[in-house]
Structure 1
């Protein structure tokens, strides 16, 4: 059983044994998590955002994912919990002054230091390379190491001074236990928001269904506005004038207008027993009589008359 050239095959070449489990390089995994976008697998560049589970994304990749929901992508499962742009927080990162980027290794003759990171903790100075646990605050988006939270305990952000609670602290690229805990918090938070919206809807419906007090008890109409004294006088005068002008017929109850009898004498209004306000409406009243000096003349002496 020889091959060409007189070689003898060995057992491991002829018999196929169980496949060895491939081990993932820890350094490569850390570089992929902390330097590349979880959704688009591109290098992280500002603006960088993080979801409620502590994963890092490029903001433009998240926007494209939300706009292009029709396309089914394999990487879209990692961002299936992101329903809107409000579910992510833009991060405020501190640059590492010792970071050179790709400028120092243009020729390829220099060793790449995987421990060197682009960003650092602004409080302690630890590099954000995955070797140390980092977290961010949902309230303000500031990023710092977990050691800074433990060593300097405060209820205010160390960088911007904004107040925060324990639920606002989210671990970046945490373990499976951290992700499960953050997922429970996310579901509870979203459930509270839904219940709050449902509680507001019936209140708004009640306020719309109840009419205003002005509609239930409408005030006086615009046509009825005016002084009560004037309306009272007008009504009295109208009644008295109708009583004088339209006398009733001989015992007729039908209310039809009839002519006065032939032997009836006309009485002057000045001699009648009506009120002075009623008499002042006629020209026979003393207030209507004016002298020639008080009365106006139709001739006007102006320059146009000459």
Structure 2
């Protein structure tokens, strides 16, 4: 049964105590947050986007997630608040000139500095490695360190000059308190957008139900154009409209007869309503033609 030959077991070999709580390495956690996609766990590569809670993603990973929302994906909970591509913002990042990346030695004879970041703050020059708090503007997507935004206070972006408000500043990979604050702002923003969309629908329905009065009643531009083209046309139209007001429905265009107009007889003879265009049965032929004088 063992323990033969004079071996003496120790207490920790016989009694199983409580397991030690595994502590997460802070350096490894920072590297995972700032260098890898939250959704696909792949290395971040341009185009890089961020959600309204301040998490970093690869844009192609977000598009694949929106196209295929299968329940088998365990990492889908990290992006459950992303309903469309409009809920993420493409980031405008400034490259770090001191970052070598894969250009360094791959033989293992060189120390890899995990705190060296690919991107820096374009104002303060701080590296975006998790040691310093970074933010991005939701409207333009420019990324700055929080120190730069506090020291150089302005209402416009330091890079592109776009105006922004305090609600547009989103902290990247913030604490639990930051995430809760950003989540409440996100819900308020989406609720406000839904209410605005609902108020726009009744207005669009009312404008569609109103009759188009401009077709029956010509505007001042049409009347002025008519005066310039044919002088005296307004007087003739007024004479014909007084007789037809009792017959035509409201909003209908006034119809004017050429035979009742004051034009010359030569001009009236061009139309089929003139007396010269009408023929008697004796004058008309017995065959059918396709001219305008066939009655």
TM-score, length-scaled by structure 2: 0.75
Structure 1 residues 14 and 26: alpha-carbon distance in aligned structure 2, compared to 1, 3 A threshold: same
Measure, in 1, the Cα distance between the counterparts of 2:171 and 2:4.
60
Unaligned runs of 5+ in 2: 217-249, 266-274, 276-295
Deviation at 1:63, TM superposition (A): 0.3
**Within-5 A mapping of 1:275-286:** none
**Within-5 A mapping of 1:1-306:** 3=3, 6-213=6-213, 214=215, 216-221=250-255, 224-226=256-258, 228-230=260-262
Equivalences, count:
233
Measure, in 2, the Cα distance between the counterparts of 1:131 and 1:225.
87
Measure, in 1, the Cα distance between the counterparts of 2:257 and 2:91.
65
- Whether the aligned pair in 2 keeps the contact of 1:2 and 1:8 (CA below 8 Å) is no
Measure, in 2, the Cα distance between the counterparts of 1:227 and 1:148.
83
Deviation at 1:225, TM superposition (A): 4.4
TM-score, length-scaled by structure 1: 0.72
Deviation at 1:30, TM superposition (A): 0.2
Deviation at 1:110, TM superposition (A): 1.4
After TM superposition, which residue ranges in structure 1, 4 or more long, deviate above 4 angstroms? none
Structure 1 residues 57 and 225: alpha-carbon distance in aligned structure 2, compared to 1, 3 A threshold: farther
SS across alignment from 2:102: coil
Measure, in 2, the Cα distance between the counterparts of 1:109 and 1:6.
48
Measure, in 2, the Cα distance between the counterparts of 1:225 and 1:47.
70
SS across alignment from 1:130: coil
What's the Cα RMSD here? 2.2
Mean Cα deviation higher: 107-116 or 195-204: 107-116
- Whether the aligned pair in 2 keeps the contact of 1:48 and 1:91 (CA below 8 Å) is yes
Q: Deviations over 1:108-159 (max 9, x none)?
A: 1211112210000000000000000000001110001000001100111111
Matching residue of 2:292: none
